[in-house]
Structure 1
Amino acid sequence: MKVKGKVRDFCYQELFPRVGLLFVRLLSRTYRYRLVDREHEQRVLDAHGTVVYASWHQRFFPGITFFATRKPIAIMISQSRDGEMIARVVDILGWRAVRGSSSKGSLRALKELHALTRQGYRVGHIVDGPQGPFGVIKPGLLSIAQFSGAPILPVILSAQRCWVFSSWDRFMVPKPFSKIFVRFAPPIVIPRRLDAHAFEALRQDVEKQIKDLYIQTDNWWRSPEMIRRHFH
């Protein structure tokens, strides 16, 4: 039993993360990224020194390589077994894994994120992960912004050609040599003090804003003019 446990731990902590990252890095080298509206990001960093990047779980594959350019960066990861493997991937990338979720360890994780932002860390957050529902923003996004005092910056990742998997969120992996938009949306400031009604109303508003941005950005692929402007 001990041997079996050691093999399992080795697979989760070393083999799977390293093999997976090798695949991500090799495939990502073929992508053509274009950053759009980068001034939104720069304005937030100039004013606050930190930011909470917000993206859908569905589009995170091309974001792994992209967000590695935004270090130092911290990300909240659940305390589940799958979270253990993801945390190891984060460590290998040179990010900071903060363990916690809405169901377990949330307050401790929020306090740790708050301390890290004071040290210059940025925060990456998957707004509907790890199990959905798809596109539904969890309260944790707003709570992180409140604790850290950093604005939310939606980062919209949209690829021209993708494989789509039959997961809960229809997870997308851009095909080799795909063109990819990385769009920085206008920042969203979350007040530190909100009653329950105002908090939920703002959560729904942020959710709608991000959904609309994904739809709008995906539609850019139907515009030859937009593609020429950014990729030629």
Structure 2
Amino acid sequence: MIKKKYRRFLYYYLFPYAGLFLVGLLSATYRIKIVDPDNEQNILKTGGRLVYASWHQRFFPGLTFLSTRKPIACIISQSHDGEIVAQAATILGWRAVRGSSSHGGRQALETIKRLVDQGYKVGHVVDGPRGPFGTVKPGLIRIAQYADMPIVPIIISGQNRWVFNSWDRFMVPKPFSRLIVRFGAPIHVPRDMGQGGFEQMQARVAQGLKQLYEDTDAIWRDEARIKEIFG
């Protein structure tokens, strides 16, 4: 019983609050500029709904940025590690829906669809939580297809960053770094994609994300473009 209470304290209080405190401190120092905002705003202005898609590698600054898009929901696995992420998301005001392809996935999709009908947007890490890096797992396509909403890639690139020795080379922008938040063109997922269509859609989204990340990261090597964006 004591061990269970200790674990609950760690997973529900210490780790999430300590982590978010660090995220908040760093995020307050960033200088953020948004590129291609119409790819998102044209959908939102007409009352549309969407699912934001991002790589796990860059979700650190996205935690607080996407919190400005509330109400927002996300599907998080039912693992112990997922408990920390789910609690952190809840503290930020997100709606954490627990489930995965192996456990509770169908129920999670039903919950997401109901929340979307209530006006929620959805945030989704396409290759998390353990990769492979850059691989668009089936969950993203299923969410977009089932809830009938477009995928909008969100790319976050920091000019100065720490890179960790993890499976995805996880990145954390350094204090006072300049950040670009870029929205990709919406990708619409048909209800019926035919034979092989699902895998083709996964590959299309993966290639689109890869190209957008590469193009956005390349901006830091172009002084004229940096000046155009940041002034």
TM interval, shorter chain, is: over 0.9
Aligned counterpart, 1:99: 98
Residue 201 of structure 1 aligns to a residue whose secondary structure is helix
- Cα distance in 2 for residues equivalent to 1:218 and 1:114: 34
Residue 131 of structure 2 aligns to a residue whose secondary structure is coil
- Show structure 2 runs of 5+ residues with no match: none
- Cα distance in 2 for residues equivalent to 1:152 and 1:5: 39
- 1:74-127 C-alpha deviation (Å, 9 max, x unpaired): 000000000011110011001000111122111111111011000000000000
Aligned counterpart, 2:67: 68
Alignment partner of 1:149 is 2:148: yes
Is the Cα contact below 8 Å between 1:73 and 1:95 reproduced in 2?
Answer: yes
What is the deviation of 1:47? 3.9
Aligned counterpart, 2:23: 24
- 1:108-151 C-alpha deviation (Å, 9 max, x unpaired): 11111011000000000000001100000001111100111110
- 1:154-201 C-alpha deviation (Å, 9 max, x unpaired): 001111011011111010000000001000111000001123401111
Aligned counterpart, 2:169: 170
Is the Cα contact below 8 Å between 1:48 and 1:150 reproduced in 2?
Answer: no
TM-score of the pair, normalised by structure 2: 0.98
What is the deviation of 1:3? 1.2
Residue 155 of structure 1 aligns to a residue whose secondary structure is strand
- Cα distance in 2 for residues equivalent to 1:50 and 1:187: 11
Is the Cα contact below 8 Å between 1:125 and 1:141 reproduced in 2?
Answer: yes
- Superposed, which structure 2 residues align to 1:27-38 within 5 Å? 27-38=26-37
What is the deviation of 1:26? 0.5
- Cα distance in 2 for residues equivalent to 1:166 and 1:196: 39
Change in 2 beyond 3 A, CA 1:98/1:196: farther
Aligned counterpart, 1:185: 184
- Superposed, which structure 2 residues align to 1:190-201 within 5 Å? 190-201=189-200
Change in 2 beyond 3 A, CA 1:196/1:47: farther
Amino acid at match of 1:83: G
- Cα distance in 2 for residues equivalent to 1:163 and 1:180: 13
Amino acid at match of 2:49: T
- RMSD, aligned α-carbons: 0.9
Is the Cα contact below 8 Å between 1:75 and 1:95 reproduced in 2?
Answer: yes
Is the Cα contact below 8 Å between 1:44 and 1:151 reproduced in 2?
Answer: no
Aligned counterpart, 2:11: 12
Residue 165 of structure 2 aligns to a residue whose secondary structure is coil
Is the Cα contact below 8 Å between 1:155 and 1:182 reproduced in 2?
Answer: yes
- 1:3-59 C-alpha deviation (Å, 9 max, x unpaired): 122111101101110011001001110001101111110112234521100000000
- Superposed, which structure 2 residues align to 1:107-122 within 5 Å? 107-122=106-121
Alignment partner of 1:42 is 2:41: yes
TM-score of the pair, normalised by structure 1: 0.97
Aligned counterpart, 1:136: 135
- Cα distance in 1 for residues equivalent to 2:187 and 2:48: 15
- Cα distance in 1 for residues equivalent to 2:29 and 2:119: 31
Is the Cα contact below 8 Å between 1:63 and 1:157 reproduced in 2?
Answer: yes
Aligned counterpart, 2:227: 228
Amino acid at match of 2:141: L
What is the deviation of 1:60? 0.5
- Cα distance in 1 for residues equivalent to 2:145 and 2:47: 13
